[in-house]
Amino acid sequence: MPYFCTMNFTVQILGSSAALPTSQRNPSAQVLDYNGQLFLIDCAEGTQMQMRKFGISMRRVSHIFISHLHGDHYFGLVGLLFSYQLLGRTEDLHIYAQKDLEQIINLQLQVSQTRLSYPLFFHPINPEERKIILDDDKLTVETIPLEHSLPCCGFLFREKPLPLKIDKRFLIKEIIPISEFARIKAGGDYLSPEGVLYKNSEITIAPPKAHSYAYCSDTLYSERIVPQITGVDVLYHEATFMNDKRTSATEKFHSTAQQAAEIARQAGTGTLIIGHFSARYDDLQPMLEEAKRIFENTVLAEEGLTISVR
Amino acid sequence: MPYFCTMNFTVQILGSSAALPTSQRNPSAQVLDYNGQLFLIDCAEGTQMQMRKFGISMRRVSHIFISHLHGDHYFGLVGLLFSYQLLGRTEDLHIYAQKDLEQIINLQLQVSQTRLSYPLFFHPINPEERKIILDDDKLTVETIPLEHSLPCCGFLFREKPLPLKIDKRFLIKEIIPISEFARIKAGGDYLSPEGVLYKNSEITIAPPKAHSYAYCSDTLYSERIVPQITGVDVLYHEATFMNDKRTSATEKFHSTAQQAAEIARQAGTGTLIIGHFSARYDDLQPMLEEAKRIFENTVLAEEGLTISVR
């Protein structure tokens, strides 16, 4: 009898472009849907329009994570905050970003004499340290220090393992006192009143694997991140250029498609999503092929694309 | 023999929505094209994407005018400034707006450690006074004080009258010394060496009418603006609501379609463009009909619409 998990865990791309938007591509933004709760990762100009376009409920966004303070990763944020105001939002909203962003938000609220209709919690982060910045019932979010021209971090979303489940077939056979449940779910064996010892593995069902998603943009090729993201199910890694431009990539503190794939290979991730493409590339197929030569299970971040993290 | 003017003078709508963008409509932005030189009027989130979509050369924008500091009129500006940087712009750029906007721009430049590659001139304006803020060879731009919940002004673009032109048929008949040309073009008569007096009207051709465009958003219904915009060829006036919501419009310092049309009627304008539509209206035809009942020559601001000011 499998341990069935109905939780949704998907990531949807809202923007796949590097700093300059193109007629086809918006700059960086993604929505992580964890069982209906939405986490917005970066929020470039036009993000709220993209959410409308793809039928995403803006209201369900509870937490926003901003990797760094280049405009192509946050210029849509203040507009979104004002739209929430106009929509009469009352639910809490949490922003995780470097502290300067709070000043940018507050200045624009002040200039327009706006007092928000909802509680806004600003959580300053230090992009240079690896730290769990959100820890709730089901998920942790951890910063991934990256190497960019401005202080910058990625985010690692890691589902918490579900507890063991007591096998229903055993519950039918034996009457177990409720007081024993927590101990068994935590891995303990069970000694029946008749003195029979049941090993934990005989009477429980293992939970499904806990899944994880890592977002790494913007960054130089950096093997330092590999230990932290090893084994993630889905990795988004920036690939601003193709490898023939790797000198240019390095100068601009960006990566190439080949380098992104190399990180995925070393980290043994499930799927690699590459994105943050320079506006110079109209056709992205050569970029995909470049990555696939190193890491076969690569996909292109394309506006609207939804990938399951499970 | 007509005095033929080849100058282009058009306005194109980039955003027709009030504060909340919809899936069909972007918030406020327009481009005025005066003989190839582009003036951007307001610059909401997504403006640079709209310019790309409609094939407008971003580089040809030399002047940007921001009516007020509600985000739906300027949240696309800083992104545009950064895109110019990435595109390697070197040409001067002039911004006319209230002084707080300079602080908003500078804070975001500073946080991202950006030094612009092009000269940016910030011209602070006082939205409460009627004043010529730009006066070049061909055109003046004047503030139009409006009544809104924040200090706000419209902009009146007025072409300068061309000088009189000396009739070529007369130049063939009479040899006029070049030293006399300026005087005649300014309206003077001409006394020939033979003592014949030619009246100015006999020897010159009148220039075509100088044209003008007025942009009035956001504002309460206010007859105070009528004297300033009387006789403009094209008037853009906000029409956030229909007239059944005029109480709501007044409370929010906005106008209705009927009120916009009433202003156009009183000012005797050529064409009225209504825009800044509330997201509550999917179908804009009833709004258009409401305005047309008062002022027949009304059109809806629709994304991409281009109207000639001549």
* pLDDT tens sequence across B214-271: 999 999 999 999 999 999 999 999 999 999 999 999 999 999 999 999 999 999 999 9
A172 pLDDT band, cuts 50/70/90, is confident
Contact A21, A49 (CB under 8 A): no
Task: Tell me whether residues B86 and A21 touch, CB distance under 8 A.
Answer: no
| For chain A, counts of helices (H) and of strands (E) | 10, 18
Q: What digits encode the pLDDT tens for the residues A144-166?
A: 999 999 999 999 999 998 889 99
| SS3 label, residue B240 | coil
Q: Answer whether residue B1 shows pLDDT above 60.
A: no
A85 close contact with B: CB closer than 8 A: no
Residues of A noted as catalytic: 72
State which residue of chain B sits closest to A82, comparing Cα positions.
B71
DSSP code of B303?
Answer: T
Q: What digits encode the pLDDT tens for the residues B28-62?
A: 999 999 999 999 999 999 999 999 999 999 999 99
Cα–Cα dist B95/A58, whole Å? 33
Tokens of A288: 């995909």
Give φ, ψ of B229 to 5 degrees.
Answer: -105, 10
Cis ω on the peptide bond leading into residue A135 (within 30° of 0)? no
Contact B262, B40 (CB under 8 A): no
Q: Answer whether residue B16 shows pLDDT above 60.
A: yes
CA distance B181 to chain A (A): 51
B48 close contact with A: CB closer than 8 A: yes
Cα–Cα dist A264/A246, whole Å? 18
Give φ, ψ of B68 to 5 degrees.
Answer: -170, 175
Question: Structure pTM?
Answer: 0.91
Cis ω on the peptide bond leading into residue B189 (within 30° of 0)? no
Task: Tell me whether residues A83 and B19 touch, CB distance under 8 A.
Answer: yes
Contact B268, B235 (CB under 8 A): no
How many Cβ pairs closer than 8 A exist between chain A and B? 93
Judged by average pLDDT, the poorest of A191-200, A292-301, B235-244 is A191-200
Tokens of A97: 């970003």
CA distance B10 to chain A (A): 23
Nearest to A79 among B75, B83, B100 (CB): B75
Cα–Cα dist B3/B168, whole Å? 11
Task: Tell me whether residues A21 and B111 touch, CB distance under 8 A.
Answer: no
A206 close contact with B: CB closer than 8 A: no
B28 close contact with A: CB closer than 8 A: no
Half-sphere exposure in the Cβ direction for A296 (13 Å, CA):
0
Specify the pLDDT at position B162: 87
Nearest to B49 among A46, A70, A103 (CB): A46
Of A62, A70, A54, A59, nearest to A19 by C-alpha is A70
Contact B57, A124 (CB under 8 A): no
B113 close contact with A: CB closer than 8 A: yes
Contact B16, B301 (CB under 8 A): yes
Nearest to A20 among B45, B46, B86 (CB): B86
Radius of gyration for the alpha carbons in chain A, expressed in angstroms and rounded: 22
Q: Answer whether residue A2 shows pLDDT above 80.
A: no
Give φ, ψ of B142 to 5 degrees.
Answer: -130, 140
Of chain B, the percentage scoring pLDDT greater than 70 comes to 98
